[in-house]
Structure 1
Amino acid sequence: MDTYGVLDGEPDLHMRMRVLSDVEEVALADGIPPRNKPGNPESLRYALLRRTGETLDSRFTSVFEPFIGSSAISQVRTLPVSGDDTDGIAAVEVELIDGTRHWLVHDPDGSREVTVDGRVNVTGTFAIIRFDHEQNAVSMDGYGIQDIRDGSHPLLAGRHRRATLTGVVTERSDALEASATMVIQLDAPAGPVAEQDLVGRYVYVDDDGEPNAAFRIAAARGRGPGLELDVNTTFVREYLDADDPEAGYVYDVEPGRRVRIPAPAHWER
C-alpha cells in the first residue's frame, strides 16, 4: 500500500523483512500510530519478535526491503566481527541479484576498532561499503567514522575525513515549546566546520536510560568556544509531578551531560 501517495497508479508494492536473529516467536499485528501527528496512517503493520530463556543478551537484526514487483536482493547474511570488544556491534552483507554486495556495519559506541569478516577494519558508528562483481571495494558512506580500511587500503583519509564534535551541555531551554536551544562547550575547536554544515546532522546527548536524546539540528551558531544549536522539538519529557504542573518538568537534556555530533563520510574509487 502506498501509504503517503508518492507513486503514480497502483504499483505492485511489497515490504520484505529478513530476520537474521534466532527467535522463538514472531507475531504480526496492526498498530495504531499517534493520532496527534499529521499524516500518520490509520494503522501500521508491526512485527513482534521474541526470545525466551534466562540471562539473555539479545540483538534483533533484520533487513527491510521495500520494492515494486520483484526483490533486488539475492541473499543476506550476518558477518563475523572480531576485536577486543564487539558487544552490540552488528554487521550484515546484502548480496544483490546483479552480484554486487553491500556490507553494513553498526557500532552504537562508535569508538571501537573491529575487523569485519577478516577483511575490513572499522572504527565508527555506521558504515556501508559497496563491492563490485569482483569483490573490489568501490564506495563507502558512513556516519561518525574515525577510520575505515579495506585491508591496508584506507577508504577514508585526508580531505574526506570529518571529525565527530564532542563536548558538554552548558545551557538548555526549559520551556514547553515546539522548539528548543542548547549551548555546548566543545572539547576542541570545531575548526573549519561551517555552522550551516551542521544543519541536518544529529546531536546525541547522554541520556538517563529513558528516551533516546537524539535531535536533528535545525540551526547552528558559534558561541565563544562552543556552539548554540536549535532543534524543532522540546526537551521536556514529562511533568515532575503529574498532580502538580507547577512543580516543573523532567528533561531529556540537562547541563553537564556529554554530547557528540557525528559527521557524515563518503569515499568512492
Structure 2
Amino acid sequence: MTMNPGPAPHPRPLTPALAAPSVGLDLDGRTVLVTGAASGIGRACALRLVAAGAKVKAVDRQADGLEALLAQSLGLAAAGSLEAHVLDLTDLDAAEEAAAGTDILVNNAGLQLVRPIEEFPPEVFHTVLTVMLEAPFRLIRGALPHMYGQGWGRIINLSSVHGLRASAYKSAYVAAKHGLEGLSKTAALEGAPHGVTSNCVNPGYVRTPLVERQIADQAAAHGIPEDRVVADILLKDSALKRLVEPEEVAEAVAYLCTPEASFITGTSLALDGGWTAH
C-alpha cells in the first residue's frame, strides 16, 4: 500500500537513551533475530543488541535499508556481529525456518493503514494480521525448540499502546496488536518451565517512518490539517507531549534480555508517556 509521507512530527529531543546505553548487557554467544530491522524500532534494537555482543540476524523485506543497517553496524565498537537477510514475512514457512536456532526473538515488523472500517480494504486487513500476528506465531514456533532444548530463551514482542487501547480508524493494527498480547502471554505460560520468558513492549507513538507516513491519512480521516495531527491526534492522550525515540524502545528490549529481568514474563511494558494512566 502507498501512503504519502508527512512532515517530520517534532524536533528530536535529547533523551538519556540517545546519549549512551543505560542497561548493562552481555550477549556474547547469543543469537538474536530481529524482524522489521531495516528502519525505526527494529533498526535501533538490532544495533543495540549487536553492541551488547550478540550475533544478530536482521530481517526485513527492504534490501536497501538492510544494507544501510549492516554498514552502520560495522562502525560500532562491538563484540557482536550482524547478518542481514531479505525476508517477506507473508512467507510464513520461510519465517518459521528463519527462527530456528534463535536464543532471543524480537518480533517487531509491522505496517499501518488508517481508514474507517467501512472503507478498510479487506486484503490489507488480511496482510496486516498475517505480518503482525500470524508471522510472530510462526517465528515463535520456529524458535522454541532451540530455546527449550537449552533451557533459556527470550521472546520480546513489539506491541504498542494499541495492544492495550484502541483508536478509531486502525481496525487491523489494533486487532493485530491485541492478538499479539494474547499470543505473548500464552508463550509465557508455556515457556516458563523451560526457562523461556515472553513479554510485550508497548510504546506510544515512536519517531519512525511508520508514524510519519500515517500523518496524511490521519489528517484525512479526522478532517484536520496535517500540521495539527501530532498535537491533536498522536499526542492527545499522552501525558508526556513528545514522541518516543527508537533508542528508548531498544533500551527497554535490552533490559528484558538481562539476568535481572529473568522473573519478568507474560507482561506488557508500557512506554506510553502516561497514555494508559487515563
Q: Identify the TM-score tier after normalising by the shorter chain.
A: under 0.3
TM-score (norm 1): 0.27
Rg comparison, structure with higher value: 1
TM-score by length of 2: 0.26
Q: Which structure: greater helix fraction? A: 2
Q: Which has the higher contact order (CA 8 A, sep 6+)?
A: 2
| Structure with a larger share of its residues in strand | 1
